[in-house]
Structure 1
Amino acid sequence: MPQTPTAKGRATRARIIEGAAEVLRERGVAFTTLDDIRGRTGTSKSQLFHYFPDGKDELLLAVAQFEADRVLEDQQPHLGRLDSWESWQQWRDAVVERYERQGDECALGALFLQVGRARPGARAIVAELMRQWQGQLAAGIRALQANGLVPSSALDVDRTAASLLAGVQGGVAIMMSTGDATHLKAALDTGIEHLRAMAGAPGTATTERNCP
C-alpha cells in the first residue's frame, strides 16, 4: 500500500515543484535538465525520483499544474468577487496586466508542448483550469444578477461565461503572436459591455476608467 505523504514530504515536493518552475521560466523547458532543477532546489537524485518516480515528464506535469493554478491565483481577489461593475473592471485590468507581464513566453504552453497535449494528464489539467475559470466567471454574472445589476432572465449565464473565456483565450493567443494586447483588451471590454447592455446601465467598461 502506498504511504500517505507526511507534512514534511508534501512541503519538500512543493518546494521542488516551485523551484523547477523558476528554472523552467528562466531557461525554457527545452534547455532545462534534471541536474539544473536539482541544483536549484538542493535535491539529490534519489530524493527527486522518490517524489517523481517517472522522472522528468512527471515533474513537468506537476509544474504544469502549478502554473495552471497560478493563472487563477494571478486574477485574485478580483475573479472571486465579481459582484459589481467596478470589480469586473478591476478583474479586466488584472488580466491585461498579467498577460502583458508574461509577454510572448507562456510557461504553461511550453510545458504542454514538452509533455504532449494529448496526454491524459495534460488534458485534465487544461480542462480543469478552464472549468474553474469559466465557473468563477459564471458565479460573477450570477452575483450581478443577485445584486439587481443584470436581470435574471436576460442571458444564458454559462454560455456567456464560456464566450467571455473564449474571447480572453483568443486575445491572449494573438497577443503572444504579435506582442500587442489590443485584441485581448477588446475581448474583455466587449464582454463586459455586453453584460452592461443587458442591464441597460449607462456607460461602458471602458468609458468609466479614470485614466487612459
Structure 2
Amino acid sequence: MERVLTERGRATRDRIVEGAARLLRERGVPNVGLDDIRAATATSKSQLFHYFPDGKSDLLLAVAEYEAAEVIADQQPMLGDLVDLATWHAWRDRVVERYAAQGDRCPLTALTAQLGLADPATRTIITRMYDRWQSHLADGVRALTAAGAIPPGADPDRSATAILTAICGGATMLQATNRITYLEVALDDALSTLGVGRG
C-alpha cells in the first residue's frame, strides 16, 4: 500500500529525490552512496529511511520515476500539442536545444545508462516513459494527417517509433562523443521522411 504523505512530507521527499537525481547525473550511480545523498540534500539518516525504507534501491526507483517525468517535461508544451507544422518544428528545436545543453547529463541518459535496466521495476518505468513519448508523437502524426498538412498514408505508430528511435540513438551517440550533430541529422531525416521537415 502506498504511503500517504502530508504536503510537507511530499515536499521533503521531492527535495531528496531531486537532489539525488542531480548527484547521480554528475557522478554516476556506482560513485554515489546514501551518505553522499544525505550530505547533498541536508537529510538525516532517519529522514532518508522514513521516505525510502529499503534505502538506496527505493531511492533509485524514485529517481527513475523522476527522470522519466523529466524526459517528457523537457519537451513540453509542444510534445503534447503537435497539431500543426509550426509546433512540430518548435518541438524539434526544443529537443535539440535541450540535449545540446544537457549533454551526457540529460534525464534520458541518467535513466537508461546510469540507473540501468537490471531491475525489472526500472525497466517498467523506462518502458512506460517510451510508450507515453511514442503516443504523443503518434497523436501528432494523426493530427497532421487529419488536417492535410502531410501526405496521406503515414502510419502514425510506425512514424512515431522512427522519430523516437532517431532521438534515442542520437542521444546515445551524444553521450559517447559530446556531438549533437548525430541527433540533429537522425531527427531531421526521420521528420523529413514523414513530411515534417522544413525543406
Give the TM-score normalised by the residue count of structure 1: 0.84
Q: Which residue of 2 aligns with 1:50?
A: 50
Q: Which residue of 2 aligns with 1:148?
A: 148
Identity over the aligned pairs, expressed in percent?
Answer: 51
Structure 2 Cα separation of the partners of residues 118 and 28 of structure 1: 16
Structure 2 Cα separation of the partners of residues 47 and 182 of structure 1: 44
CA drift at 1:52: 0.5
Note if 1:97 corresponds to 2:73. Answer: no
CA drift at 1:104: 2.9
Q: Secondary structure, in 3 states, of the residue corresponding to 1:104?
A: helix
Q: 1:22 to 1:134 in 2, by over 3 A?
A: same
Q: Which runs of at least 4 in structure 1 moved beyond 6 Å after TM superposition? A: none
**What aligned pairs does 1:107-118 form with structure 2 within 5 A after superposition?**
108-110=108-110, 116-118=116-118
Amino acid corresponding to residue 85 of structure 1 in structure 2: L
Query: Over aligned residue pairs, what C-alpha RMSD do you find?
Result: 2.2
Q: Secondary structure, in 3 states, of the residue corresponding to 2:150?
A: coil
**Structure 1: gaps of 5 or more residues:** 198-203, 208-212
Note if 1:181 corresponds to 2:155. Answer: no
**Structure 2: gaps of 5 or more residues:** none
Q: 1:167 to 1:3 in 2, by over 3 A?
A: closer
* Contact 2:67 2:108 (C-alpha < 8 Å) held by counterparts: yes
Amino acid corresponding to residue 78 of structure 2 in structure 1: H
Q: 1:136 to 1:34 in 2, by over 3 A?
A: same
CA drift at 1:114: 5.9
User: Highest Rg: 1 or 2?
Assistant: 1
**What aligned pairs does 1:17-96 form with structure 2 within 5 A after superposition?**
17-96=17-96
Q: 1:123 to 1:49 in 2, by over 3 A?
A: same
Amino acid corresponding to residue 47 of structure 2 in structure 1: Q
Amino acid corresponding to residue 173 of structure 1 in structure 2: T
* Contact 2:112 2:126 (C-alpha < 8 Å) held by counterparts: no
* Contact 1:61 1:122 (C-alpha < 8 Å) held by counterparts: yes
Amino acid corresponding to residue 29 of structure 1 in structure 2: V
* Contact 2:145 2:154 (C-alpha < 8 Å) held by counterparts: no
Give the TM-score normalised by the residue count of structure 2: 0.89
Structure 1 Cα separation of the partners of residues 195 and 2 of structure 2: 53
Greater CA drift, 58-67 or 106-115:
106-115
CA drift at 1:71: 0.8
Q: 1:116 to 1:149 in 2, by over 3 A?
A: closer
Q: Which residue of 2 aligns with 1:129?
A: 129
Amino acid corresponding to residue 128 of structure 2 in structure 1: E
Greater CA drift, 140-149 or 106-115:
106-115
Amino acid corresponding to residue 19 of structure 1 in structure 2: G
* Contact 2:17 2:66 (C-alpha < 8 Å) held by counterparts: yes
* Contact 1:88 1:192 (C-alpha < 8 Å) held by counterparts: no
